[in-house]
Structure 1
Amino acid sequence: MEVYIPSFRYEESDLERAYTVFKIEVLMNGRKHFVEKRYSEFHALHKKLKKCIKTPEIPSKHVRNWVPKVLEQRRQGLEMYLQVRCV
């Protein structure tokens, strides 16, 4: 199984605060699957996993700057986190 986060997008809404959505690509048994998740969903999963198993570090929950460079660093960190879990 291979897992990548090839991209992200910044969502702005009148109903809630702006947030980032990460596109996750999973290659398994020769088939590609895509899903989009917010950082909060990664963080919730991480908290549950930590109760049962030793987990790698997850990128910081708090991002001070919503600039592409900072979000790209978060994308890379989340991708590494998923790849370590899937080995």
Structure 2
Amino acid sequence: MLNIVVIEGYVTNKIWHWGADLCFRLASYRDSHLPQKPPPPPETNHDQAADYLTVRVVGGAPGGLPVAIHPGQRVRVHGFLGSRPWRRTLT
């Protein structure tokens, strides 16, 4: 099974570096013919709620080309899903 995804969305205000990697949050809105999330509160001025995910650009420059992103920019990301294990104590 291949673990390849293509997702499109808008860059949020959360952009940071983690070591040499560039990370940012992506807000993705569902297509209108798909099941929708419950509507957001009226004070947000949005008609639908977004799904959020973190995008990690390994090395900060895919193929040696620098990445320039800014909040509100619409981007399409081609990549794979991954996770990072972490522990949290209950105390």
TM-score between both structures, scaled by the size of structure 2: 0.34
Q: Which structure has more helix as a fraction of its residues?
A: 1
Q: Which structure has more strand as a fraction of its residues?
A: 2
Higher relative contact order (CA 8 A, sep 6+): 2
Q: Quick check: which has more Rg, 1 or 2?
A: 2
